[in-house]
Chain A
Amino acid sequence: MPIGLIWQTFLETPLINFMILLARASFGSYGLAILLFTVITRLVTFPLMLRTLRSMKQMQVISPLLAEVNKRYSDPRRRSEETMKIYKENGVNPLGCLGPQLIQMPIFIALYATIRLTMGNTPEGLLALSSRLYDFPYIREAIPLSSNFLFMDLSENGTVPLGVAVFAAMWLQQRISSSRTAATPGSQQAQMNSTMQWMMPIFFGYFFVVSLPAALGLYWGVGTVISLVLQWAFVGPGDFTWGSLIPAQLRPAAFGAGVSNASSSAARGGQTSSGDSDASASGGSQREDGRRGGGSGAGTAGPGARSGRRRRNPRG
């Protein structure tokens, strides 16, 4: 059986029929169906996501130790050995976060094909759908689906507000994620984090506005927001504070001096992409703080934010 046929038979075609079923069950709204589908996929992949989040939390805990190893050993082989030792001792799988992301990839690609077919925004597209529907009147009668949802035509590209929303959600996610890495300021990793924080959201935002149907942007945007909420709930926001979103010039007017300092530090963290890395570079006491902060900030957003302030205070 050719791989393309396997892909179609076992993933794409079931997904097409499932999406039509969801749309019919959602009062004929394809937008609602996509929202439901996003929630369902997040629920299904939640155990893996939880493992990833725990892995992230553990990484946050051991990041000072990793920074110490980086500092202490110049021999790459020895450094690698010591790093692996720390991973092993702390039960961290550095590739653990890949699971849910790898699972998402085929879903995303199949959803792309599904949306193009089910929306039927071209006559050829709708005609091609005929051979992919199961022989259930409930599904067949649902065609064509309504492509209107809120202010959008889900079958068309060019939905600027959606692109902006995807950009904002991805930027925030990248910002929070990068605040947990153990990158040294100015290091290649830190530069990469900084680049990724801007490039990926810009790329995706642009992609969803210019080239892809709004339905796919909706899936991606809502999925990102759900991940963000889960990340925040289970690992905390790391070094991120909402105040850091306000430009430095406006902060003294908006907040008191104390908050201003914290916000400025957070902003610096954002610019260098890692508050943790600042802390690790400053010496052993900051690493100790970082370790405590990571541990205490495991459950809620509050302690995570406190850990960031604790690390920043010696500098301020």
Chain B
Amino acid sequence: MGAAVAIALVGTACTGNTNPIGWAAPVAANGMVIVTNQNGTISGLKTAGADAPTVAWTYPEQAAASSGGSEDFVSRFFNFVGGLFSGNKKASNFSAVYATPRVETVGNQQRVFLASYTGDVISLDAATGKPATGWPATVNVGGRVAATPAFDGKLLYLGTNHGDIRTLDAANGSVGGAIVGTGARVWAEPLLLNGTLYISSLDHTVRAIDPNSKAERWKTDVGGAVAGNPAVMSGLLIVPTLNSAVVALDIASGEQRWKMTGDNWFWAQPLATNDVVYVATASGTVYALDRATGSEKWHSVPLTAEVRTAPVLLGGSLLIATRTGVVVALDPATGAEQWRKAIDKAAFLADPLVLDSGVVYAAEDGSLYRVTPQDQGVNLLYKRGK
């Protein structure tokens, strides 16, 4: 019996994801696109219009040669069995990254800050990919990091799975004390606006904190866990929740202005324009809401796939990408489908990057796709290992 269960366990473990994979979005900096690779490296890609980019640098260089690719069942079986004896430790602490790399100027150097799910943070020179001077090889903040850090020009603010916000000196990497303890995981990006830090966490709350005095300015229960990044527009903090609701809070007082309930969780960051807020659910239904009142203008036909990527407005289309590798263009005025493209074996979970006249989507396997709504083009830009 025991042996049968053990075999069943191993078999079961091979049919699903045991380890975190990551969904860090690509970022643009000085003619480069900075991407994380699943083999634990980070690359700076030189882009030139619609041409395929060239790899300008990869950090660390030694690991660059070892490319990954999507694992088949056999590989996963052996990886899992190997994991039994290694505690499922990843080969690199940067194999799973959810936080978007942060590109900021510190002194006279443009730096890339990358926080991994293990809580390790590195700082690189954005131009060369070399470790930033005066910064340790890696700094650990003492908790898992899934949220993109906030930056105030001197300090980085990192939310952890312990529910606290740790500060990190951008110049030398020294870790400061915890600013606030929410008691629940912080997976949404902390927002720093006009001297106030807005923290959304899985404990159903949004807090406004003075980062200097650590005093709480307000705290609001939004009725559901907040895993996705809030959007800010015209004095409103628009918060997606896992209680199938989008809640708009007054950014100054934390009071609820409106609330709209959808057909499933809201995890994707809302896209707020002057008049309309576009939000997508985990069932793939897109809603257009009146920004001022939250009343529904239209909702799309569900795409029946999780949508975690933020919607993008470009070239007269509202672009949505799903976990099943489908890119759909909707009419922003009516929600009618304009066109769709399915990309085989691609899973889109990372937020998109608008670059020139196209949108760059990073797939779960590390590939980058460029989508141009004008000609309905979907092209493979970059594949890890190439």
Contacts and interface: CB of A to CB of B under 8 A. Distances in A.
Interface of A: 98, 101, 104-105, 108-109, 112-113, 116, 122-128, 130-131, 137, 140-141, 143-144, 157-158, 170, 196, 200, 203-204, 206-207, 210-212
B144 to A, nearest CB: 9
Contact of A200 (B2, B83, B264): B2
B84 interface: yes
Given A123-B23, A130-B282, A157 B267 contact: no
A212 B9 contact: yes
A170 B21 CA distance: 34
Contacts of A127: 267, 282, 306, 308, 323, 349
Mostly, the A contact residues are helix
Closest 8 CB pairs of A and B: A130-B282, A122-B20, A200-B2, A101-B1, A130-B265, A144-B202, A109-B12, A211-B84
A217 to B, nearest CB: 12
Given A108-B8, A127-B306, 14 more contacts: A104-B5, A105-B5, A108-B5, A108-B9, A113-B16, A122-B21, A127-B267, A128-B306, A130-B242, A144-B202, A144-B242, A157-B87, A206-B84, A207-B6
A136 B265 CA distance: 13
Given A130-B306, A131-B282, A143-B225, A123 B8 contact: no
9 contacts: A98-B1, A108-B8, A123-B20, A125-B17, A130-B283, A200-B2, A204-B6, A210-B85, A211-B87
B87 A210 contact: yes
Nearest to B1: A101
B98 interface: yes
B91 interface: no
Contacts of B187: 123
B18 A116 contact: yes
B18 to A, nearest CB: 7
A224 to B, nearest CB: 10
A157 B264 contact: no
A98 B1 CA distance: 8
Contacts of B184: 144
A122 B187 CA distance: 10
A104, A122, A143: most-surrounded residue (chain B CB, <10 A): A122
B220 interface: no
A109 B8 contact: yes
A123 B98 contact: yes
A157 B283 CA distance: 31
Contacts of A101: 1
Contacts of B85: 210
B148 to A, nearest CB: 13
Contacts of B87: 157-158, 210-211
A199 to B, nearest CB: 9
B283 A131 contact: yes
Contacts of B18: 116
B244 interface: yes
Contacts of B223: 141
Nearest to B263: A135
B4 to A, nearest CB: 7
A130 B6 CA distance: 29
Contact of B84 (A112, A144, A210): A210
A212 B88 CA distance: 10
Contacts of B96: 122
Given A127-B282, A141-B224, A207 B84 contact: yes
Contacts of A116: 16, 18
A210 B87 CA distance: 5
Given A130-B267, A157-B88, A123 B2 contact: no
